[in-house]
Amino acid sequence: MSNHWACWVSAAAGPSKSPQMGDEDIILTRNLKSHTGSKELHMCPARKQVEHGTGPVASRPAIQDYGVPKSKAGLLSWEDIDKRLTDSRYYWICTVDTKGQPHTTPVDGLWLDETLYFGGSPSTRRNRNLVNNSKVSVHLESGSDVVILHGEAGEQPPLDRALAARLAELHGIKYGYGFKAENFVSGGPGLYIFRPRVAFAWSQFPKDATRWDFPER
């Protein structure tokens, strides 16, 4: 059993309880100021799969001096990227502490309805960082077939049983060990969700470099 999911199961078994980053930040890391807002991120349950025409909007990323085409011809399909996110076994999550120090760790997770569900002990540095700064970057493992997401993460809210059952089923398919819907229902410490505001991907940089902006939800 993965350590990340083991922490998730342990936590879930207990009682229930922005300016957009510039495109160039995917090439050059800048100093980040600490987010000093609410210490708890209240996020509504994941919506159903977006209807046609209301999903993320594709465009070209504004990466200067790298030969990224201005034409929309050759943009990647979000459906293909969504499938890669769904099928991925591991997700690298980058958080930032109150002093601006970045911290990156790989986690298991479930991508469903443009939301990443992941777990871990609240005592981990990653999850302690989320208390003070909800801004997060997530990327997949490949450095050639690139997928990068920028958005916000926080404690998972309580979920309706239908969505919890879907997550439990997907977890069993992906990781091959038991995980019950009840583990997702309560939400709270040890359970987290991430929702992107912007995504970037490419497989033949710079020819197919693509950006997606997500609607507010």
In SS3 terms, 78-132 reads as HHHHHHHHHHCCCEEEEEECCCCCEEEEEECCEEECCEEEEECCCCCHHHHHHHH
Q: 162-212: per-residue pLDDT in tens?
A: 999 999 999 999 999 877 899 899 888 899 999 999 999 999 999 999 999
Domains of the chain (ranges plus CATH)? 1-15+77-217 (2.30.110.10)
Instruction: Pick 185 or 8 by higher pLDDT.
Output: 185
Q: 97-141: per-residue pLDDT in tens?
A: 999 999 999 999 999 999 999 999 999 999 999 999 999 999 999
Supply the pLDDT for residue 54. Answer: 72
Left if phi > 0, otherwise alpha if psi is -120 to 50, otherwise beta: which for 78?
alpha
Fill in the amino acid letter for 174: K
pTM, to two decimals: 0.77
